[in-house]
C-alpha cells in the first residue's frame, strides 16, 4: 500500500505460453486466443510464426498448428493458468482422452524465473524441453530466454532436443 491507501500494482512478470490446435479452424482459434490473452492478461505480446506439427502421443490424428506467445503479465502464475484454462473452455475445448485432438490448448511454459510444483500446475512446464513444437517457435522469438530450472536458453534446448517430430513453419 502506498501512503495514500492505494494499492501498488504488481510488477509485470514475463511469460512464455504455448498454443496449439488441430481442429479447424486452427489458425483462427490461435489468433482468437492471442487476441483475447492480449486484451485480458498479456502486455507487450510477441508471437512466433505458426508451425504445423506432427501429433505427439496419439499419432493417428490431424497435424497441429502451434505457436508461442511471449509477453508480460501482472497476474500470478496460478491466476494466469486459470485464465488460460478458462479461455480454452470459452473457445470450445472439449475434454477427451490424453493426447487426443484439441480445439485449443494453452500451456504456461515459463513464468519469469519461477519454479513451481503444485497439484494443478508445474512451471516450467514439465515436458517443454522434450517438445520441438514448443522449442522451435520459442527459439524463434526468444532464443536467449533462459529456463530457470536448467539454466539453458531456448536456442540451446532446441539444439539438444531429441524429439524428431515434424515441425514445419507455415
User: CA-to-CA distance for 100 and 108, rounded, in angstroms?
Assistant: 19
CA distance 123 to 108: 7
CATH number, domain 13-165: 3.30.70.560
Burial of 107: CB neighbours in 10 Å, binned 0-12, 13-18, 19+: buried
Helices (H), the chain: 26-40, 77-90, 132-141, 154-160
pLDDT in tens, 117-159: 999 999 999 999 999 999 999 999 999 999 999 999 999 999 9
Q: Taking the domains of the chain in order of start, what are their residue ranges?
A: 13-165
pLDDT of 8 = 52
Taking the model in full, what pTM does it have? 0.93
Task: Tell me the pLDDT tens digit for each residue of 13-56.
Answer: 999 999 999 999 999 999 999 999 999 999 999 999 999 999 98
The confidence band for 3, taking pLDDT boundaries of 50, 70 and 90, is very low
CA atoms within 13 A on the CB side of 93: 22
What is the reported pLDDT for 11? 76
Amino acid at each position: 500500500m502506498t501512503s495514500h491507501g492505494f494499492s501498488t500494482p504488481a510488477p509485470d512478470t514475463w511469460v512464455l505460453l504455448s498454443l496449439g490446435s488441430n481442429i479447424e479452424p486452427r489458425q483462427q482459434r490461435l489468433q482468437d486466443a492471442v487476441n483475447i490473452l492480449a486484451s485480458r492478461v498479456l502486455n507487450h505480446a510477441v508471437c512466433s510464426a505458426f508451425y504445423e506439427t506432427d501429433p505427439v502421443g496419439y499419432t493417428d490424428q490431424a497435424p497441429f498448428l502451434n505457436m508461442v506467445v511471449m509477453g508480460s503479465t501482472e497476474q500470478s502464475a496460478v491466476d494466469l493458468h486459470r485464465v488460460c484454462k478458462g479461455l480454452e473452455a470459452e473457445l470450445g475445448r472439449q475434454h477427451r482422452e490424453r493426447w487426443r485432438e484439441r480445439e485449443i490448448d494453452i500451456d504456461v511454459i515459463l513464468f519469469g524465473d519461477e519454479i513451481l510444483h503444485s497439484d494443478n500446475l508445474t512451471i516450467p512446464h514439465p515436458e517443454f524441453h522434450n517438445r520441438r513444437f514448443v522449442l522451435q517457435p520459442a527459439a524463434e522469438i526468444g532464443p536467449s530466454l533462459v529456463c530457470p530450472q536448467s539454466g539453458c536458453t531456448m536456442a540451446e534446448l532446441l539444439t539438444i532436443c531429441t524429439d524428431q517430430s515434424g515441425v514445419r513453419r507455415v
